[in-house]
Structure 1
Amino acid sequence: MTPVTPVTPAPAAAPAAVPAALSGVPAAAPSGDRIHRVRLSSVRLPLATPISDAKVLTGVQTPMTEVALLFAEVSTADGHEGIGFSYAKRAGGPGQYAHAREVAPALVGEDPNDIARLWTKLVWAGASVGRSGLATQAIAALDIALWDMKARRAGLPLAKLLGAHRDSVRCYNTSGGFLHTPVEELLDNATASLERGLGGIKIKVGQPDGAADLRRLEAVRGHLGDGVPLMVDANQQWDRPTALRMGRALEGFGLTWVEEPLDAYDAEGHAALAASLDTPVATGEMLASVAEHTALIEARACDIIQPDAPRIGGITQFLRLAALADHRGLQLAPHFAMEIHLHLAAAYPHEPWVEHFEWLEPLFHERLEIRGGRMHLSNRPGLGITLTDQARAWTREACEIDGTGAVRELTAATG
């Protein structure tokens, strides 16, 4: 019988050395910092000129004279701060402020880094009023403030924290092309925008008389020439037959897109129109949740999607939607709020557009750099914005939630 030679087990491998910088640090450790104060402000920004688009000319709305903004300023026990905002046009501002005032105490004592979890917590704090519209628009200001804080803590512009694909984004002007503007002034505004460094011009259409729209568009295209990107926006004021007829009439102008030709929730109609026209169809700005945008995406209802981070619940929700849009290969052109959307567009994989409105400039000390047809990221951390004294002066209501979750009024409401 052949003897069996015992096998001596090999010595266990020595554990890999832990880098000194990580020694003693548990995985996924909480930051230790906690939210200890939230300030909310309801601000009314007056517009120099009453604004009219097709919704005014068709009698659906009255001219817009102001923008209501909800500002959220969040700070932590370690002294970190972030600012975010949402907004409402014509109606909804007081409602956004009231909802934020009710749910914001849920943030106190929380780790500010856990933004997705905190978004969900805020939604459930006000779940009885739903997960879209005014409720999530109120949450958006808080969510954006947390993202601003996170990027500031990292010492990075928000786009860099998210992972930028570019340091500048194509930009176009809208504020000079409203329907209350006479044609000669429209042309002057377009020239001024291009001289300022913007890359494209958008004008409003959707008047009851379609021929009047075509005459304005002919004047603008003739003034700009064929090389300047030109967009039109009907603000949902066409029915399906009119949208198809006008869309075909617009084909010869070489438009970058035709925006909101139909009701914002008519995914089927938008899909049929997009399949019928060579001109790209853009829509989405009026939708108030990721779910509503998903219906557009699944119906293949647009070529260019136009989400608005404050309207859909903030940056956390915008990133969810951007991933869906990227998966479908859609172009991106976020609506309004360029101070936020520059960063989000810079982080989108496909070359996007961002909309230029100078309306909010009196609220912030900083200005965005525009040159060569593009809006450029600054090296300021976070969103790179701070509030002016004028913004404080336009405040109608304000409150502060302290470290105990108690709400203290800072100013009384004024008319």
Structure 2
Amino acid sequence: MNDQPTITCADDDRIAWLRLRSVALPLANPISDAKVLTGRQKPMTEIAILIAEIETRDGHQGLGFSYSKRAGGAGQFAHALEVAPNLIGENPSDIARLWDKLCWAGASVGRSGLATQAIGAFDVALWDLKARRAGLSLARLLGAQRDSVRCYNTSGGFLHTPLDQLLKNTDSSREKGIGGIKLKVGQPDWALDLHRVSSVRKHLGETFPLMVDANQQWDRPSARRMCRRLETFDLIWIEEPLDCYDAEGHAELVRQFDTPIATGEMLTSPAEHWEFIRQGAADFLMPDAPRVGGITPYLRIQTLAEQAGMTLAPHFAMELHVHLAASHTREPWVEHFEWLEPLFEERLEIRAGRMLVPNRPGLGLSLSERVAGWTVQQAEVGQRA
């Protein structure tokens, strides 16, 4: 006689409707980093945001987003709209399977880059929906290790910022409770970089966490020279000292210098990250969930990196990454950028150098009314319940 209880599953909900928006989010001031000063890019004046809203037959909702800087926003929207019908009628719980389905629907244009960044907005929305339906924050759904994460500010340290204003920005960040400061470096005149870093280190004191970011603008000899000169400042890390695909060069720097090396934000797939993990080419790996195609591929990268003993410091999009960082085994850093704040009604809390993980269901985000005014194009697929 079998006394085991019969287990039934009532999870037969289906995706009924979705809406896509392409949003041009303006920045308060044009932004310049080393890529601008070397003539490779123009100052950034806006960010292209791809927003996905998903609703199921039973009325459950999810909100997700991806983004692109300087170019690619229209392409992301077009690709997302083209593959979106593949979601209608699907069970929203099957997130990994749906990621694969969307990826293969557009596989002829690649399984990384713009193609997967477009479906990343859907992936984030599906995870948000799943957590909301469970009544849990995304961090709790994933399995949180902590209720807050270390955070550092980048937006106040760009190269277009005069030194006196840069010092004021560091004071402002510290007053807000932010726990670290990152400066952009990589100018054609390396002496200017060293002067700015030296001035900020003196201003902050010897022990306050300080990072620098060269945005891929050094070749190997220049990187070795600058890493050697920067050793004296006791930095948390030196970020992107080389081209983002130069795993071998980054690995050499990791082995040669005491100051940790960080990279990974420009990589757009687990496969690209695996090459850096395999070669031990970073002390801090910096995946960006929207850039790699959403939360599903991000979690694959996280597992590989943690198995290899690497610490993660996810790039940008703090509203999303604060949840993912809470699930890391090793204590992470999250990047504080206020640029996306106008998109949402909610704000993240920061105390004593740490960013608090929201406890609202899902991502804990709702769209601001201002999004409508920044919307460049939008489309709906399916029928609302």
For normalisation by structure 2, the TM-score amounts to 0.99
How far does residue 17 in structure 1 lie from its aligned partner after superposition?
4.5
- The one-character-per-residue Cα deviations of 1:81-121 (angstroms, maximum 9, x if unpaired) are 00000000000000000000000110000000000000000
Match runs of 1:13-412 below 5 Å: 14-18=1-5, 23=6, 25-26=7-8, 29=9, 31-403=11-383
User: What letter matches 2:331 in structure 1?
Assistant: E
User: What letter matches 1:140 in structure 2?
Assistant: G
If asked which structure has higher relative contact order (CA below 8 Å, sep 6+), I would say: 2
Structure 2, unmatched stretches of 5+, are none
Secondary structure of 1:226's match? coil
d(CA) in 2 for partners of 1:135, 1:141: 11
Number of residue pairs the alignment of both structures matches: 384
d(CA) in 2 for partners of 1:78, 1:273: 53
d(CA) in 1 for partners of 2:192, 2:10: 61
How far does residue 381 in structure 1 lie from its aligned partner after superposition?
0.5
Whichever of the two has the greater Rg, that structure is: 1
For normalisation by structure 1, the TM-score amounts to 0.91
Aligned to 1:3: none
User: What letter matches 1:153 in structure 2?
Assistant: R
Runs of 4+ that moved beyond 3 A: none
User: What letter matches 2:276 in structure 1?
Assistant: L
Identity %: 66
Secondary structure of 2:208's match? coil
Secondary structure of 1:386's match? coil
User: What letter matches 1:112 in structure 2?
Assistant: P
How far does residue 224 in structure 1 lie from its aligned partner after superposition?
0.2
Alignment RMSD, CA only?
A: 1.0
User: What letter matches 1:254 in structure 2?
Assistant: D
How far does residue 30 in structure 1 lie from its aligned partner after superposition?
6.4
How far does residue 32 in structure 1 lie from its aligned partner after superposition?
1.1
How far does residue 376 in structure 1 lie from its aligned partner after superposition?
0.4
d(CA) in 2 for partners of 1:196, 1:333: 20
d(CA) in 2 for partners of 1:325, 1:57: 33
d(CA) in 2 for partners of 1:338, 1:157: 15
How far does residue 393 in structure 1 lie from its aligned partner after superposition?
1.1
Secondary structure of 1:389's match? coil
Structure 1, unmatched stretches of 5+, are 1-13, 405-415
User: What letter matches 2:323 in structure 1?
Assistant: H
Distance 1:48 1:146, change over 3 A: same
